[in-house]
A and B are shown apart, each in its own frame.
Chain A
Amino acid sequence: MADISSSFLGIKSPNPFWLASAPPTDKKYNVLRAFEAGWGGVVWKTLGSQVKNVSSRYSAVDYNGSRVMGFNNIELISDRPLEINLKEIAECVKLFPDRAMIVSLMADNDRNSWHELIKKVEDTGAHGLELNFGCPHGMTERGMGATVGQDPEIACMVVEWVMEVAKIPVITKLTPNVHSVVPTGRSVVKAGTNGLSLINTIQSVTGIDLDTFVPNPNVGGKSVFGGYCGPAVKPIALKMLTTIAQDELTRTVPISGIGGISTWRDAVEFMLLGAGNVQVCTAAMKHGFRIIDDMIEGLNNWMDEKGFKKLDDFIGKSVPSITHWEDLDINYHIIAKINQDKCIHCGLCYIACEDTSHQSIRLDYGKPYNTYSVIDEECVGCNLCKLVCPVDDCITMEVHRKGDEYINWKEWQKRGLPLNDH
């Protein structure tokens, strides 16, 4: 069996799966249940000055009958008294000393407030701090959360205040509500943060009630932009993670990956793109803590299958394979192939290619089943047919190189090779 234990900034946990700072981690009751279920660590719900929440708070995007593809919230930081939170954190640390306890913080925007808060938290015995520079609603209006994360200079200043007093490792959590996460990332690394985590939620409107005309979530007839998360944001999170994992400066610190992780497969993808560990929120909110079982077992089995002994054996492995467009090999060419034995004649490949791609699929009418086959000369190898086909491995993309030589766009132009062959 592979060793899936994790050490992130020296903070140990039996597995790389932490619960992200959010409702699942906002009190002792939940956190103890999470630890009992097997979660490796938690980032306690963000602490700061006292706030008040509204109702309702969440909304979701469903897709083709699948609930909560995307999840949205307008909650603020912890609305429980600070003293109670601190007391419960200390109790949890004592009861589960082998699990990671990180505390998320968002103090008022002055040096003193940060210093005082950090000292109080460190007294609990917590193992690390996470700075919430990401919350996109409610706190921003008060100059906190994403307002800090969106401005590299302010972020730098706050991290400097924090580093003046912090004795335990500090992770800075980045907001995705920026054109690029790299400037803030660089700025906080320069200011001394020990690690980075990303992403927090993305500003969004999840939908509108077509009877009342009020967008979701509805708070007494009004709504506000909420923070979007869950499976729908994973591709965006992965992209942002990659930019941090590839930047010369930001890649020097450990990265905790967050955003739409629901399964061990999602987690492995984040780790392949450079995340040292991962954090989960929506998936737990949808299904409860029990999802951890398969995350642990799935990761283990996959590592055994691939021959990885420990997490470091594969963390960051895919980072180099994301390159620049102009470095891609233009001679690489693939052509779709339909396996007639597997085909169920649904015609989805045909109509997709015919209406929106390259008219590369031939249709021979039959009753009731038509036959579909690829016109090799027309196929540009875009993958569309394969993507829409409902049958696994029915359409495969076969390599038919246009030439033996690797040749990229820059070289292509230099040699004046022909364009627009389609």
Chain B
Amino acid sequence: MAITNNRLTKEQYEQNFSDIRPPFENKTAAVVEANRCLFCYDAPCTKSCPTSINIPKFIKQISTDNVKGSAHTIFISNIMGAGCSKVCPVEKLCEGACVYNLLEEEPIQIARLQQYSTMKALQENWQLFERKPANGKKVAIVGAGPAGLSCAHVLAREGVEATIYEKEEKGGGLMTYGIAAYKVTPQFCEDEVNYITSIGGIEIKYNQELGKNLSLSDLQQNYDAIYLGIGVGVARQLDIPGEDLLGVVDAIKFIYELRDKGYSAIPIGDKVAVIGMGMTAIDAATQAKRLGAKEVTMIYRRTQEEMPCTEYELNIAKLDGCEIIWLAAPKEVKGVNGKVTQLVCHVMKLGEPDISGRRSPVDTGETITLDVDMVIKAAGQVPFEDLVKGSSLDNKNGKIVIDNNSATNIQGVFAGGDAVNGGKEVVDAVQAGKDGAAAILRYLKLF
């Protein structure tokens, strides 16, 4: 057993990481699907999209060949409509609520239709928004992820100058550095960021890290308001013996490297254990498999009933050949010569419901041992606790606390996205950015 990179040929990598939600082949295919849409009133799909895209309207616009109008309908509610169309877990959002489900029929392929219009807009660089004349106000945004970009776009539309400070050298946040490579490509992420900023009035300053070469007070001095869209950080520590052995890796870092360096550069084990059953865990497991790991086993301390990922996501992992062990919690990582060789788990059973309403797992006293050479930790992410606390921001375990006006406890400082909710979806972060922008506009008395 060994951890090595470059396990597959170029063709194999390409095939393994090809687009999981491919676009419609052509206009006819899109229009056939668009015509299936019933054009519901007060549509359930729209109510189930966190950004409330007027779905029946944009679909109708595809069927009348008003693709520009369709793209505008999407972007007015969600400027990352293109990215969302590729990464949204639609089975629990818009498509999950489509009335066709109630007829036991396939729901409308909302995301693929959304992709049809928005990708055309990106490709043709359609400028669908006009900026209001500059009003002299300046806002600093920290983080060029979905929340920050969405906030910046609304502000730019309203004539505000938005400056985004981003610690990485590329924009897009976890869209660029976190989401599975078979959902979006680096090129797409870059194009999407460029499309968003092409409206004008948005400047992104890269390699600028709040808390390092930048402080909140600097920003407060130079800007009329501040929006924090810094997301969340690394994967939660397991706090078990052996966590520092060679071969134990953080899922976020693992995926970051994968997205940053390319498939063949990423070392992967023969037998990989992934701890957790959220989106990140699924993405880590499926991508470990697609990088050429022989066996991938997912470990989760509860059962399928309680798992945080959707059934659709679970099925991707299953179809990729990942094994799943329910009711197992990591106890210890064992190693030889400083390298991982085994993962020991407690066997759990379900007890009484906890505060989240989910039945909490209790130790049965038994254990199981897996022979592995790599352990990927994906049991939730931790917020940037030091940064948040160091800036005297009200917080809950590092998650920034805001009121229903997106405002933090510090006057003129607003926040949203993963940094506040602890980690949801891109589409939630986009909505948070819109809410933040609206709050800032009210604060600056521009509304």
Residues of A within 8 A of B (CB): 64-65, 344-348, 350-351, 363, 365, 367-370, 390-391
B41 at the binding interface (Cβ < 8 Å): yes
B12 at the binding interface (Cβ < 8 Å): no
Residues of A within 8 Å of B32, CB to CB, are 65
The residue that B41 contacts in the complex, of A348, A390, A391, with Cβ under 8 A, is A348
B42 at the binding interface (Cβ < 8 Å): yes
Task: Tell me which residues from 22 to 63 in chain B have a Cβ below 8 Å from any Cβ of chain A.
Answer: 31-32, 34-35, 38-45, 47-48, 63
Which of these binds chain A: B97-105, B219-227, B234-242?
A: B97-105
**A344-B99, A346-B41, A368-B45 are known contacts; what are 13 more A-B pairs with Cβ within 8 Å?**
A64-B35, A64-B63, A65-B35, A344-B100, A345-B44, A346-B40, A346-B43, A346-B99, A348-B40, A351-B41, A365-B42, A368-B44, A390-B38
Shortest 7 CB-CB distances between A and B: which pairs?
A347-B41, A65-B35, A368-B44, A351-B41, A344-B99, A368-B47, A344-B102
Residues of B within 8 Å of A65, CB to CB, are 31-32, 34-35, 63
Q: Chain B: interface secondary structure?
A: helix
| Contacting pair B35 A344 (CB below 8 A) | no
| Contacting pair A346 B38 (CB below 8 A) | yes
When chains A and B are docked, how far (Å) is the Cα of A347 from the Cα of B45? 12
When chains A and B are docked, how far (Å) is the Cα of A278 from the Cα of B39? 37
| Contacting pair A348 B38 (CB below 8 A) | yes
Q: How far is the CB of B39 from chain A (nearest CB, A)?
A: 7
Q: Among B45, B47, B48, which residue has the most Cβ atoms of chain A within 10 A?
A: B47
Residues of A within 8 Å of B102, CB to CB, are 344-345
When chains A and B are docked, how far (Å) is the Cα of A367 from the Cα of B97? 10
Residues of B within 8 Å of A351, CB to CB, are 41
When chains A and B are docked, how far (Å) is the Cα of A348 from the Cα of B39? 8
Residues of B within 8 Å of A348, CB to CB, are 38-41
Residues of A within 8 Å of B97, CB to CB, are 368-369
User: Which A-chain residue is minimally distant from B99 (CB atoms)?
Assistant: A344
Residues of B within 8 Å of A390, CB to CB, are 38
Q: How far is the CB of B413 from chain A (nearest CB, A)?
A: 32
When chains A and B are docked, how far (Å) is the Cα of A368 from the Cα of B97? 7
Q: How far is the CB of A348 from chain B (nearest CB, A)?
A: 6
The count of residues in chain B whose C-beta lies closer than 8 Å to any C-beta of chain A is 20
When chains A and B are docked, how far (Å) is the Cα of A92 from the Cα of B333? 88
Please encode chain B, from 253 to 272, with 1 for each CB lying within 8 Å of some chain A CB and 0 for all others: 00000000000000000000
A-B contact pairs, 11 of them (CB 8 A): A65-B63, A346-B38, A346-B40, A346-B99, A347-B41, A347-B42, A367-B47, A368-B47, A368-B97, A369-B44, A390-B38
Residues of B within 8 Å of A345, CB to CB, are 40, 44, 99, 102
User: Which A-chain residue is minimally distant from B96 (CB atoms)?
Assistant: A368
Residues of A within 8 Å of B45, CB to CB, are 368
Residues of B within 8 Å of A391, CB to CB, are 103
Residues of A within 8 Å of B99, CB to CB, are 344-346
Residues of B within 8 Å of A370, CB to CB, are 42
| Contacting pair B31 A368 (CB below 8 A) | no
Residues of A within 8 Å of B44, CB to CB, are 345, 368-369
User: Which A-chain residue is minimally distant from B36 (CB atoms)?
Assistant: A65
Residues of B within 8 A of A (CB): 31-32, 34-35, 38-45, 47-48, 63, 97, 99-100, 102-103
Q: How far is the CB of A346 from chain B (nearest CB, A)?
A: 4
Residues of A within 8 Å of B47, CB to CB, are 367-368
When chains A and B are docked, how far (Å) is the Cα of A370 from the Cα of B102? 13
When chains A and B are docked, how far (Å) is the Cα of A64 from the Cα of B44? 22
Q: How far is the CB of A370 from chain B (nearest CB, A)?
A: 6
Residues of B within 8 Å of A367, CB to CB, are 47
User: Which A-chain residue is minimally distant from B35 (CB atoms)?
Assistant: A65
Residues of A within 8 Å of B41, CB to CB, are 346-348, 350-351
Residues of A within 8 Å of B40, CB to CB, are 345-348
Residues of B within 8 Å of A363, CB to CB, are 42
The residue that B43 contacts in the complex, of A64, A347, A365, with Cβ under 8 A, is A347
Q: How far is the CB of A373 from chain B (nearest CB, A)?
A: 15
Residues of A within 8 Å of B103, CB to CB, are 344, 391
When chains A and B are docked, how far (Å) is the Cα of A370 from the Cα of B31? 28
Residues of A within 8 Å of B42, CB to CB, are 347, 363, 365, 370
When chains A and B are docked, how far (Å) is the Cα of A198 from the Cα of B286? 66
When chains A and B are docked, how far (Å) is the Cα of A368 from the Cα of B38? 16
Residues of B within 8 Å of A368, CB to CB, are 44-45, 47-48, 97
Residues of B within 8 Å of A350, CB to CB, are 41
Q: How far is the CB of A303 from chain B (nearest CB, A)?
A: 32
Residues of B within 8 Å of A64, CB to CB, are 35, 63
When chains A and B are docked, how far (Å) is the Cα of A369 from the Cα of B41? 11
When chains A and B are docked, how far (Å) is the Cα of A363 from the Cα of B41? 11
Q: How far is the CB of A61 from chain B (nearest CB, A)?
A: 15
When chains A and B are docked, how far (Å) is the Cα of A178 from the Cα of B102? 48
User: Which B-chain residue is minimally distant from A355 (CB atoms)?
Assistant: B41
Q: How far is the CB of A222 from chain B (nearest CB, A)?
A: 25
Q: Among A65, A348, A368, which residue has the most Cβ atoms of chain B within 10 A?
A: A368
User: Which B-chain residue is minimally distant from A365 (CB atoms)?
Assistant: B42
When chains A and B are docked, how far (Å) is the Cα of A345 from the Cα of B32? 23
User: Which A-chain residue is minimally distant from B94 (CB atoms)?
Assistant: A368
User: Which A-chain residue is minimally distant from B33 (CB atoms)?
Assistant: A65
User: Which B-chain residue is minimally distant from A368 (CB atoms)?
Assistant: B44
When chains A and B are docked, how far (Å) is the Cα of A346 from the Cα of B42? 8
User: Which B-chain residue is minimally distant from A372 (CB atoms)?
Assistant: B41
Q: How far is the CB of A264 from chain B (nearest CB, A)?
A: 26
User: Which B-chain residue is minimally distant from A370 (CB atoms)?
Assistant: B42
Q: How far is the CB of A317 from chain B (nearest CB, A)?
A: 35
Q: How far is the CB of A344 from chain B (nearest CB, A)?
A: 4
When chains A and B are docked, how far (Å) is the Cα of A135 from the Cα of B40? 43
User: Which A-chain residue is minimally distant from B47 (CB atoms)?
Assistant: A368
Q: How far is the CB of A38 from chain B (nearest CB, A)?
A: 31
Q: How far is the CB of A369 from chain B (nearest CB, A)?
A: 6
When chains A and B are docked, how far (Å) is the Cα of A11 from the Cα of B192? 71
When chains A and B are docked, how far (Å) is the Cα of A365 from the Cα of B103? 21
Q: How far is the CB of A64 from chain B (nearest CB, A)?
A: 5
User: Which B-chain residue is minimally distant from A389 (CB atoms)?
Assistant: B38
When chains A and B are docked, how far (Å) is the Cα of A72 from the Cα of B443? 62
When chains A and B are docked, how far (Å) is the Cα of A391 from the Cα of B100? 10
Q: How far is the CB of A8 from chain B (nearest CB, A)?
A: 40
When chains A and B are docked, how far (Å) is the Cα of A347 from the Cα of B31? 23
Residues of A within 8 Å of B100, CB to CB, are 344
Residues of A within 8 Å of B43, CB to CB, are 346-347
When chains A and B are docked, how far (Å) is the Cα of A378 from the Cα of B44? 26
Q: How far is the CB of B66 from chain A (nearest CB, A)?
A: 12
Residues of A within 8 Å of B39, CB to CB, are 348
Residues of B within 8 Å of A365, CB to CB, are 42
Q: How far is the CB of A398 from chain B (nearest CB, A)?
A: 23
User: Which A-chain residue is minimally distant from B44 (CB atoms)?
Assistant: A368
User: Which B-chain residue is minimally distant from A66 (CB atoms)?
Assistant: B35
When chains A and B are docked, how far (Å) is the Cα of A370 from the Cα of B38? 16
When chains A and B are docked, how far (Å) is the Cα of A115 from the Cα of B346? 103
Q: How far is the CB of B27 from chain A (nearest CB, A)?
A: 11
Q: How far is the CB of A394 from chain B (nearest CB, A)?
A: 10
When chains A and B are docked, how far (Å) is the Cα of A368 from the Cα of B102? 12
When chains A and B are docked, how far (Å) is the Cα of A21 from the Cα of B80? 57
Residues of A within 8 Å of B34, CB to CB, are 65
Q: Among B35, B39, B40, B48, which residue has the most Cβ atoms of chain A within 10 A?
A: B40
When chains A and B are docked, how far (Å) is the Cα of A345 from the Cα of B45? 11
Q: How far is the CB of A392 from chain B (nearest CB, A)?
A: 10
When chains A and B are docked, how far (Å) is the Cα of A390 from the Cα of B39? 11
User: Which B-chain residue is minimally distant from A64 (CB atoms)?
Assistant: B35
Q: How far is the CB of A110 from chain B (nearest CB, A)?
A: 51
When chains A and B are docked, how far (Å) is the Cα of A8 from the Cα of B26? 49
